[in-house]
Amino acid sequence: MSGGARLKGRVAVITGAAQGIGAEYARALAAEGAAVVVADIQDAEPVARAINEAGGKALAVACDVTDSESVGRMVADTLQHFGKLDILVNNAALFGKLSRKPFDQIESDEWDRMMAVNVRGAFECVKAAVPAMRRQQYGKIVNIASGTVFKGQTMLLHYVTSKGAIVAMSRSLARELGNDGIRVNTLAPGLVMSENVLNNPEWAGAASQNTVNTRAIKRDSVPEDMCGTLIYLCAPDSDFVTGQVLVVDGGAVMH
């Protein structure tokens, strides 16, 4: 694959990587030399196959991040296939297909599902991945939050709340895992025109344009916009960086 080699010899797990931004993350890390595990509850085989055909190394693994046994199997498959685990990108989340609605119209079951996937899913993956990272006294965990945490967002209370929890979780994990050589950081995208967002009428026209208007760089964001920051957080360049949030949204949020 064309690209650099900043992640040569590293093994990375990316959840929610069968499509959209997650698939772009997997391709970007593979292009930098990482062996990637493309994990998703959906069929991740096409993404892994394309990476392998391009000269990279990839393994597709079926994984439900809300199921601790499924997550355990994902880590076991990673270790069996590639021998170690250096990088975990907790990307799996509910967002692209969401319907925007006032908070008092969000059903309790929908709230619980959001927390199970977006918050507990990241927790389950970290819990399963850390023993392998501890053994080698090195690891990079990148949790995916959202710029909405820092500005508030109407009509998506359950989603924004879940991503606020990710920021808090990352900071606490960074403290707890620092002595193990494991860095934990957060990448917080703005609204990205991924496949699901493009196909969701909720984000057509004025809704997405209103977001663009809040940015210093006034254009739509595409998945590729996230990859440089992700690579930095996974690479040795950021070995002295932990507990931080990097917002990548064209300057809508400045903090």
Sketch out the chain's domains with CATH numbers.
Answer: 11-248 (3.40.50.720)
pLDDT value for 99: 87
**Whole-model pTM?**
0.96
pLDDT value for 197: 73
pLDDT value for 249: 94
Give the chain's residues under pLDDT 50: none
The order of strands in the sheet holding 11-15 is: 57-62, 35-40, 11-15, 87-90, 139-144, 182-189, 245-248
Cα–Cα nearest to 16, from 80, 82, 66, 53: 66
d(CA 243, CA 204): 35
Length of the chain: 255
d(CA 74, CA 243): 25
d(CA 140, CA 12): 9
Cα–Cα nearest to 209, from 163, 252, 149: 252
Stretch (H or E) spanning 189: strand 182-189
Measured from the Cβ of residue 204, the count of other Cβ atoms closer than 10 Å reads 12
pLDDT in tens, 181-207: 999 999 999 988 877 677 777 767 777
Catalytic residue among 25, 138, 159, 232: 159
pLDDT value for 157: 96
Cα–Cα nearest to 144, from 166, 129, 162: 166
Cα–Cα nearest to 11, from 47, 68, 56: 56
**Bridge partner list, 141:** 88, 184
pLDDT value for 200: 74
Decide if 232 is catalytic. no
> Structure tokens of 20?
């959209």
CA distances from 75 to 6, 56, 68, 69 (A): 23, 20, 11, 10
pLDDT value for 203: 65
d(CA 39, CA 78): 10
